[in-house]
Amino acid sequence: MKSGEKMAEYKLPKDFFENNLIKPYSAPQFFLVTQIIEEHERLNSKFQKLIAQFNEEAMAKDEAQLRLIEETDDPAVLVNLMRKNLRLPNVSTYIGKVLTYQSECLPLLLKRYLTSGQDTFIETSARVLVASDESYVRQLQEMYGRIRNPYARAVACFVFGQRGMKEMLAFLVGEYENFKRNYNDESFEQFPLAAIYLLNGRSIL
């Protein structure tokens, strides 16, 4: 390629979306729906009221966890909380707290993401990375080939799609084919596929 010459933009086959459908009730769909609830103050409030109405014990657990999140300012403790089952009404508050300390928390998160095989940690990390400064997502991109767990790699692909990283389209197509070929029983391929949909302005819901 000559100096100053632009790389040709990757183009999907015209029939790509007709031939590669998002599976109903797929993990990326659930991931996106819960994000919408977490980030929507009114929906989150309604969710909390429903919990209070039908399950006082669950409400008490939510409140205890919320106090822990609000009172914690130790980055290591905050990152360790990603291994816990964060209560849905508390996730938005938790992410906001982590982002307040992201210069301390995100390096710890990314280091652990390389080797973690725990779904809860992987999924919560992804939610944080979707909202973090771009530099941390670029670090995730750079370390992608060293991520040990295939589910963690698949979820990272979805983060790239949610962050609108259009330059990764060809890479995501390759990962979609890789997951489809090697991990089809787990449906991991749905994550890079959902990212491809998002990068092309298509809904996955």
Please report, for residues 9, 40, 111, 177, the alpha-carbon distance to residue 35 in angstroms, rounded to integers and kept in the order given: 31, 8, 24, 26
Continuous H helices in 72-149? 75-80, 88-100, 102-113, 119-131, 134-143
Extract the tokens encoding 166: 């259009």
Confidence of residue 3 (pLDDT cuts 50, 70, 90): very low
- Is it the case that residue 168 has pLDDT exceeding 50? yes
The separation between the first and the last C-alpha atoms of the chain, rounded to the nearest angstrom, is: 40
Mean of the per-residue pLDDT values of the chain = 88
pLDDT for 50 beyond 80: no
Measured CA distances, 189 to 37, 54, 81, 92, 166 (Å): 25, 37, 28, 27, 18
Per residue in 97-121, pLDDT tens? 999 999 999 999 999 999 999 999 9
**Whether the predicted pLDDT of 31 surpasses 50:** yes
